[in-house]
Amino acid sequence: MKAEAGEPNKILKVKKEGYIDAGDEGKVYSNGDGSVTKIYHDNSRNMESVKAIYDKLNSIGIRTPKILEVGKSEEGLPAMRMEQIGDGDSLRMQLMMREIMGKDLASLRQQYWAYADALKQANLRIDWNLKNMRFENGKLYILDPSFMKNEPTSDATYNMFASMIGPRP
């Protein structure tokens, strides 16, 4: 899904009581309507570049949440509202809690390695980490690619995170 255009200066309001989690780049809030808003810590973050990462990943067959709009928080920080995938738990947590088993695990394994192959073929590197992924309704999503570089991801990276998923099918 191609990300929607937005107004970079539009104020995206968030419900602070909808706080889900914080990461290296910012905080995520549930809007209570099937969407979340991520507010970035870095005031210089270019939201058009962020949208371009999501668009590029989608163009090579990697699922990401749909970006609904971009703008700024009430504090003036870069912000993005996107489709909410899951309940806030990452793929890492889903695997640790054994929420994915049997046929779902086999499907996850197949998608995981297909995404790795797609990135390799496109000669791209993103922040490949189970904390940035989610398996929802039989589909693997990259929730937060963080960055994208025109260089390969090492096979060691894919293999390291595959220890909880399994080897190539």
- Domain range annotation of the chain: 16-83, 91-164
- Per-residue pLDDT at 78: 96
The CATH superfamily assigned to 16-83 is Phosphorylase Kinase; domain 1 (3.30.200.20)
- Per-residue pLDDT at 1: 52
- Per-residue pLDDT at 23: 83
Report how far residue 60's alpha carbon sits from residue 97's, in angstroms, rounded to the nearest whole number: 30
Question: Please, is 17 exposed, middle or buried when counting C-beta atoms within 10 Å of its C-beta (0-12, 13-18, 19+)?
Answer: exposed
Helices (H) and strands (E) in the chain, counts: 4, 9
Report how far residue 1's alpha carbon sits from residue 94's, in angstroms, rounded to the nearest whole number: 25
- Per-residue pLDDT at 88: 86
- Per-residue pLDDT at 2: 54
Q: What are phi and psi of 110, to 5 degrees?
A: -60, -45
Residues of the chain with pLDDT under 70: 1-6, 8
Report how far residue 105's alpha carbon sits from residue 84's, in angstroms, rounded to the nearest whole number: 22
Residue type, 75: E
Q: Name every residue whose Cβ is closer than 8 Å to that of residue 39 and which is 6 or more positions away in sequence.
A: 14, 26, 27, 28, 29, 73, 75, 77, 78, 79
Structure tokens at 92: 């890492």
- Per-residue pLDDT at 9: 82
